[in-house]
Structure 1
Amino acid sequence: MNEKSRLIKTEDRNDHFKAPKDPVVKRDSFFVMFDKVIEATPRNEGKPSQEIYLDGERLKSVAKLVGGVRDEEILTLLDHCEGFHQLVHSIGVVIKTENQHAGKMNFVLQNYGKEKKYETGTLLRMACPTDGNEMILELGDFQWSQDDDVPGKFAFEFDHPGELATASVKFYLQDAYKVPEISLEPPVAFDSKGYQAMIRKSLLSKGNNQRLKAAIEKAERGEDVTIAYIGGSITQGAGAKPIHTHCYAYQSYLKFREMFGKDDGKNVHFIKAGVGGTPSELGMIRYERDILRNGKVEPDIVIVEFAVNDAGDETKGICYESLSLKILSSENKPAVILLFSVFENDWNLQDRLSPVGKHYDLPMVSVKDAVVEQFRLTKEEGNIITKRQFFYDIYHPTNDGHTIMADCLSLLFSETKKSIRDSEDIKIDKSPVIGNCFKDVQLLDRKDNPIDARIDMGSFWETDDDLQMVELDANTFVTPQFPNNWMHTTTSENDRFKMTINSRSLILVYKDSGSSEFGIADIYVNGQHIITADPHEVNWTHCNAVILYQEDVCREHQVEIKMASDNEDKSFTILGFGYTL
């Protein structure tokens, strides 16, 4: 493949895309990335990289968010590779590292294929200098696969994990297409009165403050206090660079220890357990493992952040309320703070989930309430931060966005400190507002089988080590999710996985995958076919939870899992189960 590219010198950071001095006609263009901080994340295969996904509505959304494109014809052309080539003449890439003599990094453009999504589309790799010079990738210089379906992703390949850079990517358009130039915003005025007014709007409810004040006073006395966070990819730190120190969780933990800790806050400890793409349906199953660390940790404060993940909760809030009660019921009486993050399209599930907070009088913080209204304002009308500044992509905040989330939590901490202590604790022994049938859910996997369920693993005898990886706590390294699993491989015979279990309910956790080696499996309970689990519905490596049954009484059930017809030579991974008695 001919990887022809053209190097254009630039003057400085604010002039990345200055017109070249040679007589090349200036094309209309728009950014899809602008000075975005990127970070090298370890991968199971290949170099450490930062991946920017473009499929679904993502490319159209970043064209609107970052590039300011409003022309529906242009946006529609970004839906598929044929329209992409009709619209885009070339791609400009600018990468800068602090060490401008660091050499080169690879920029990768991958199209997803029609036949095999991750395997049959075109993949281009272009070496780029890291000194702020622009590389131009002219699309007409390449052979493109006939199987190209949609633009899939950009990737930036580093030499070492944890390295940082800033990157800009710009689409130069074919002659027939025009877009208006857009002006860039001034930096966010974090110290302004307008900023503080915006943050104050996030305080949805101070709630009953007895538990939170107890944690604050405990920290002020110099006693050990642990603040913990459980949620989705935003809690994991997606969009923050570096992810372990600039995520909202770590930043708000720092603020808490600075406000209330003793001896430089050494008595305040940090637990972070965000897992991308997963709802509270999975969060409640992994709470003991990821927050309590199987009985080794007793958190004093737990922030719950699933407001943009729980669209995948098939119980429509029962799992969320069950998780909240699971935490609140702990013997050490931790404070629970409900945090409502927001997507670029101004959406979250605050209306569905906030009644849980109201019912138990919990502190609630709404990032949506803080930022969405002012997104619609001009600077003259009172805009503090634009969507382009707040969002790294259509789902996750930038460093500035994570800072705002941390400041919203910090406001709750300070307001609680100033408030008179409530005389009575919250009451949790009352009827649920949505449902609480999973509040005692426990994890069962290949390592931990506390109720001695009888298991015949059949052909699911191998262990999958290609798992969803997350950065827990303040770690720079990643930890595999559900490593104690059962895996059927392409070389296994098609023997069923069988489990006899006494339980009231059972949730299967299985692995989603984008690999064509994975296939679908049929799940039976007491001889009845319940679901066909398809690891390609989401199509990337992560954890998927689905309820197999939920009953009023605990009784014996026979569970069987086998590869579906014509999928016997495929792989499937059972990550674990959640059960209640």
Structure 2
Amino acid sequence: MTGPAAPKDPEKARPFFYILKDKDIFGERQKDGTGIQFIYESDGRLINSAQITGNVTDKEELTLLETVEGFGRLVHSIGVSVETDRPEETAEFVFQMYGKKDLYGGGTNLTASLKCDGMEHRIYLSDYRWTEDDHVPGQIKILFAAPERMGKVSVRLFLNDGYEAPPEEEDLVIDMHSEEYCGMISRSLLQLGNPYRIRKAIEKSKAGKEVTLAYIGGSITQGAGAIPIHTECYAYKSFQLFQNRFSTQNNVRFIKAGVGGTPSELGMIRFDRDVLREEERPDIVVIEFAVNDEGDETKGVCYESLVRKVLKLPWKPAVVLLFSVFANDWNLQERLRPVGDLYDLPMVSIRDAVTPQFSLKCGEGRILSKNQFFYDIFHPNNIGHTIMADCLQYLFECCDAAEPARVGTFVEGMTEEQILSEKLSGPAVIGADFERIFLLDKKNRYVGAKIRAGGFASTDMELQSVEMDGNLTQTPEFPYNWMYDGSRLQMPGFEMEITCKSLFLIFKDSGETDVGKANVFVNDVYCMTADPHKNNWLHCNAVLLFWETESRSHKVRIAVTEEDRNKKFTILGFGYTI
């Protein structure tokens, strides 16, 4: 009989820092019946994760995380653990590097198969042969054999010799009933404004009549960072709080229309389709584009146009302006606030609520850390979404407690509604040229537009899809599109004669290699080149083609560039004003 084999020498202890620590995950259902959780690490997310989760401040180490080459110099190995309520099951972990030429197919995949029991598995970078196309750390994927598994994941990076990691900092438990927490929530009330329309909706709900809350915005409104996305997002939680507080018969209805990566430039075009669908008549509309509008070509005209469009609806819904925030404490509050000031609208600032206490030390007045609020650099986690919902509910409570008519309302013999009406009939503070904008696609026609699709005769089915309302199933965005599929080389491009004042083109962005660029001409003059790889991920991109003061006839022609004639390009639709 022989004894047990001698154990291996213990591995050298290495410094490490977390990029994910007890991060909530949820296996979103796939077509094949499996589940998957994506955690994106590109576009500065990995660096931000190292900063807010790993407390990394070393500039050299943060810079190394920008590229695969630097990542390999810094990182010795990766420690991964996944924990669910089914520890006997196995999950597949993939840390995917993005390629420079082939974004999704050209990079190295660092993989591990591990039990869902919380035990850590190590991935050694030295075990891999890296590809020539490796470019930047891209995304983490966690794959489950069955869908809708909930759990937590932790990922820490063990460092190569010569690099040091900061000490871990433990967060305090968040007391959401404390005086300090309540004070933080109260700071979010940027302006109570004219509460008349919100108060009217609350009274209607208390009387047992049907009331509808609608939320429109970008990925935060879609629910990004919430696990699961359909019930833990701020919009759903806000709707629930409103219903529990002001409803007598569960008579509150919910509309969620958030689309990731899209600004008010697209929001104003899709508002009728996504919010007013099937003759919906929302009583309160929350508008959240404060972190999405940096690329808005009109610098706020689209935003104010959307606000006025909603305020002028015949049934007079209330509008709430919600200013969310990124992990670098940034939003566009200063640009967009004047819109709320002019129309005396209720405004809620998440930035004003949470960022002042982020700079405080643990135990010295800090209520929660950035790691406890944010899922990544752009999106809140479940706690963050809860805080956003609490901030909105604080506004609703303040409106409910407000006097029926504020002091000074009748100074000039006008009611609150008459004052707002007068503001809406006057000049805009930024601009309102697009408040009467309409969507044009294969389904939504316009008598003033004559279209010859030419080689754009196909329909693209691979579209950005989002979870609408309280549903977990996804709805494709702009399914009634025109696609050039790369096979109609001899056919002419897309041509349209349209009578309008302004025109926005909505086209599909993508990170795939089989899509190409298209040139856009207006009245036979080159206007722009639409490049689906500029943003390099699957979403809807709205761009302004022209903007005039009078409606007249224009000729629009869109043709795939000569070098990309065998590639795809998709026109998702247009937005036009007349």
Q: Same fold (TM over 0.5)?
A: yes
Give the counterpart of 2:135 among 138, 146, 149: 149
What's the counterpart of residue 401 of structure 1?
384
Q: Does the 8 Å CA contact 1:523/1:531 hold for their aligned counterparts?
A: yes
Distance, in Å, in 1 between the alignment partners of 2:503 and 2:32 is: 34
Look up the SS of the partner of 2:72 in the other structure.
helix
What's the counterpart of residue 55 of structure 1?
42
What's the counterpart of residue 412 of structure 2?
none
What's the counterpart of residue 290 of structure 1?
274
Distance, in Å, in 2 between the alignment partners of 1:220 and 1:260 is: 5
Provide, for residues 73-122 of structure 1, a one-character-per-residue CA deviation record: whole Å limited to 9, x for no partner: 11111111111111111001000111222x11111111112232222211
1:189-338 superposed matches below 5 A: 189-263=175-249, 266-294=250-278, 296-338=279-321
Distance, in Å, in 2 between the alignment partners of 1:272 and 1:160 is: 27
Distance 1:46 1:161, change over 3 A: closer
Q: Does the 8 Å CA contact 2:519/2:560 hold for their aligned counterparts?
A: yes
Distance, in Å, in 1 between the alignment partners of 2:35 and 2:541 is: 25
Distance, in Å, in 2 between the alignment partners of 1:246 and 1:187 is: 19
Distance 1:395 1:94, change over 3 A: same
Q: Does the 8 Å CA contact 1:108/1:123 hold for their aligned counterparts?
A: yes
Offset, 1:447: 1.1
What's the counterpart of residue 13 of structure 1?
none
Look up the SS of the partner of 1:126 in the other structure.
strand
Instruction: Confirm or deny that 1:386 pairs with 2:382.
Output: no
What's the counterpart of residue 528 of structure 1?
525
Provide, for residues 532-568 of structure 1, a one-character-per-residue CA deviation record: whole Å limited to 9, x for no partner: 0000000000000001111111111111110012111
Give the counterpart of 1:508 among 505, 509, 518: 505
Instruction: Confirm or deny that 1:374 pairs with 2:366.
Output: no
Look up the SS of the partner of 1:246 in the other structure.
coil
Offset, 1:201: 0.3
Instruction: Confirm or deny that 1:168 pairs with 2:159.
Output: no
- TM-score, structure 2 normalization: 0.94
What's the counterpart of residue 4 of structure 1?
none
What's the counterpart of residue 569 of structure 1?
566
Distance, in Å, in 2 between the alignment partners of 1:124 and 1:46 is: 24
Distance, in Å, in 2 between the alignment partners of 1:572 and 1:52 is: 27
Offset, 1:164: 1.6
Distance, in Å, in 2 between the alignment partners of 1:514 and 1:46 is: 25
Q: Does the 8 Å CA contact 2:325/2:351 hold for their aligned counterparts?
A: yes
Q: Which moved more, 1:35-44 or 1:140-149?
A: 35-44
Distance, in Å, in 1 between the alignment partners of 2:477 and 2:467 is: 10
Look up the SS of the partner of 2:562 in the other structure.
coil
What's the counterpart of residue 464 of structure 1?
460
Q: Does the 8 Å CA contact 1:162/1:476 hold for their aligned counterparts?
A: no
What's the counterpart of residue 469 of structure 2?
473
Distance, in Å, in 2 between the alignment partners of 1:233 and 1:191 is: 28
Distance 1:44 1:124, change over 3 A: farther
Distance, in Å, in 2 between the alignment partners of 1:445 and 1:46 is: 33
Look up the SS of the partner of 2:176 in the other structure.
coil
Q: Which moved more, 1:138-147 or 1:119-128?
A: 119-128
Distance 1:21 1:477, change over 3 A: farther
Distance, in Å, in 1 between the alignment partners of 2:194 and 2:520 is: 44
Q: Which amino acid aligns with 1:73?
A: E
Distance, in Å, in 1 between the alignment partners of 2:563 and 2:30 is: 31
Look up the SS of the partner of 1:286 in the other structure.
helix
Offset, 1:380: 3.2
Distance, in Å, in 2 between the alignment partners of 1:292 and 1:246 is: 24
- The alignment's C-alpha RMSD in Å is 1.5
What's the counterpart of residue 68 of structure 1?
55
Offset, 1:47: 5.0
Distance 1:46 1:32, change over 3 A: farther
Q: How many residues align?
A: 558
Distance, in Å, in 2 between the alignment partners of 1:365 and 1:330 is: 22
Distance, in Å, in 1 between the alignment partners of 2:447 and 2:345 is: 33
Distance, in Å, in 2 between the alignment partners of 1:326 and 1:357 is: 14
Q: Does the 8 Å CA contact 2:16/2:158 hold for their aligned counterparts?
A: yes
1:26-175 superposed matches below 5 A: 26-42=13-29, 47-101=34-88, 103-175=89-161
What's the counterpart of residue 540 of structure 1?
537
Provide, for residues 485-507 of structure 1, a one-character-per-residue CA deviation record: whole Å limited to 9, x for no partner: 00001222252101111111110
What's the counterpart of residue 3 of structure 2?
none
Instruction: Confirm or deny that 1:424 pairs with 2:436.
Output: no
Look up the SS of the partner of 2:194 in the other structure.
coil
Distance, in Å, in 2 between the alignment partners of 1:241 and 1:269 is: 22
Instruction: Confirm or deny that 1:517 pairs with 2:517.
Output: no
Q: Does the 8 Å CA contact 2:33/2:146 hold for their aligned counterparts?
A: no
Distance 1:58 1:45, change over 3 A: farther
Q: Which amino acid aligns with 1:572?
A: F
Distance 1:147 1:261, change over 3 A: same
Offset, 1:452: 5.0
Q: Does the 8 Å CA contact 2:110/2:123 hold for their aligned counterparts?
A: no
Q: Does the 8 Å CA contact 2:171/2:362 hold for their aligned counterparts?
A: no
Offset, 1:376: 0.4
Identity of aligned residues (%): 50
Q: Which amino acid aligns with 2:103?
A: K
- TM-score, structure 1 normalization: 0.94
Q: Which moved more, 1:415-424 or 1:328-337?
A: 415-424
Distance, in Å, in 2 between the alignment partners of 1:115 and 1:354 is: 41
Q: Which amino acid aligns with 2:86?
A: N
Offset, 1:206: 0.5
Distance, in Å, in 1 between the alignment partners of 2:33 and 2:56 is: 34
Distance 1:564 1:310, change over 3 A: same
Q: Does the 8 Å CA contact 1:44/1:466 hold for their aligned counterparts?
A: no
Distance 1:44 1:123, change over 3 A: farther
Q: Does the 8 Å CA contact 2:44/2:377 hold for their aligned counterparts?
A: no
Offset, 1:421: 2.2
Distance, in Å, in 2 between the alignment partners of 1:32 and 1:379 is: 20
Distance, in Å, in 2 between the alignment partners of 1:402 and 1:88 is: 32
Offset, 1:53: 1.8
Offset, 1:21: 10
Q: Which amino acid aligns with 1:28?
A: P
Distance, in Å, in 2 between the alignment partners of 1:187 and 1:499 is: 59
Structure 2 alignment gaps of length 5 or more: 1-6, 406-414
Offset, 1:55: 2.1
Offset, 1:38: 1.1
Offset, 1:175: 1.9
